[in-house]
C-alpha cells in the first residue's frame, strides 16, 4: 500500500477540471501540494536539480497549453509564472500555504474537461545542462536520488523503484546518424532518450563530441525500462 500510494503521488496526480464557463476550462489546485515538494528542495539546498510541475494531456501525453495562472488567497489574486506549453512555476511561500492558497489554471479552451493531469518531475536545472562532464553528471545523479528519497520519507524510500542512473533527453534536432553512433555504447530508448548508469557517465564526452544538445536530465528508475 505504501509503495502504490507514493508512486501515484510522485508520478501523476489526477486533477478535477472545473468548467468556469462554456468557453474555458479552469483547473483548481491546492497550493500546499506544490509547497510540500518545494519545501523538500528548500531544505536540501541542492544546486543542480529542481522539482518541475507540468500539466499533461492524459490521452496524447503532450503538455497542455496554459493561458493564465493565478494564486487566490481569500479575496487576493496574484499572478503565477508559467510556461505556456504546460509548465507551472509557483513561488515558495509558507504564508500562502498557511492561508490556504489555491492555484487557478486556465488551460486551452479546446481541451475537454478532465483531460489534463499534473505530473511532478525531478530533473536537473536547465542552467546545469551545458558544459556537462562526468563529475557534473555524477553530482546531478546523487542529488536526483537524494530528492526522491527525501520525498518518499523514512519508510517510503525502501519501496521506491531501483534508482539506476539518469535519463538524458536530447534536442529534437538530433538525427538518426548521431543516435546510431551512440547506440554502440549507450542504451537509447525508442523516443531517442539515453539511459546512463553511473559507470557510463564518462560517455557524456561522446555526446559532447557529437555536438548534441541535452535538454533534460531526469532519474532513470527500474520501472521505466
Residue 115 is predicted with a pLDDT of 83
pTM given for the model: 0.83
Q: How many Å apart are CA 8 and CA 45, to the nearest integer?
A: 25
pLDDT averaged per 10 residues, the chain (length 225): 39 41 73 96 95 92 93 95 95 96 88 81 96 97 96 83 96 89 92 94 95 96 71
Whether the Cβ atoms of residue 148 and residue 163 lie closer than 8 Å to each other: yes
Across 59-156, where does the E strand assignment appear? 66-73, 76-79, 81-83, 87-89, 102-107, 116-124
Number of H helices, E strands in the chain: 6, 14
Task: Tell me which DSSP letter residue 213 carries.
Answer: P
Residue 173 is predicted with a pLDDT of 85
Residue 112 is predicted with a pLDDT of 66
Amino acid at each position: 500500500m505504501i509503495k502504490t500510494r507514493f508512486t501515484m503521488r510522485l508520478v501523476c496526480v489526477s486533477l478535477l477540471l472545473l468548467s468556469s464557463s462554456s468557453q474555458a476550462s479552469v483547473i483548481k489546485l491546492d497550493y500546499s501540494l506544490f509547497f510540500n515538494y518545494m519545501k523538500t528542495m528548500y531544505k536540501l539546498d541542492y544546486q543542480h536539480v529542481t522539482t518541475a510541475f507540468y500539466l499533461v494531456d492524459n490521452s496524447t501525453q503532450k503538455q497542455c497549453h496554459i493561458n493564465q495562472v493565478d494564486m487566490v488567497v481569500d479575496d487576493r489574486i496574484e499572478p503565477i509564472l508559467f510556461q505556456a506549453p504546460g509548465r507551472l512555476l509557483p513561488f515558495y511561500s509558507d504564508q500562502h500555504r498557511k492561508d490556504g492558497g489555491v492555484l487557478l489554471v486556465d488551460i486551452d479552451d479546446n481541451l475537454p474537461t478532465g483531460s489534463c493531469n499534473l505530473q511532478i518531475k525531478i530533473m536537473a536545472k536547465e542552467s546545469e545542462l551545458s558544459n556537462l562532464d562526468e563529475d557534473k553528471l555524477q553530482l546531478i545523479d546523487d542529488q536526483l536520488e537524494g530528492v526522491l528519497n527525501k520525498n518518499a520519507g523514512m519508510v517510503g524510500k525502501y519501496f521506491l523503484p531501483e534508482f539506476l542512473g539518469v535519463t538524458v533527453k536530447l534536442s529534437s534536432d538530433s538525427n538518426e546518424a548521431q543516435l546510431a553512433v551512440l547506440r554502440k555504447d549507450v542504451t537509447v530508448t525508442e523516443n531517442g532518450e539515453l539511459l546512463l548508469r553511473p559507470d557510463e557517465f564518462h560517455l557524456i564526452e561522446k555526446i559532447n563530441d557529437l555536438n548534441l544538445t541535452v535538454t533534460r536530465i531526469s532519474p532513470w528508475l527500474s520501472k521505466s525500462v
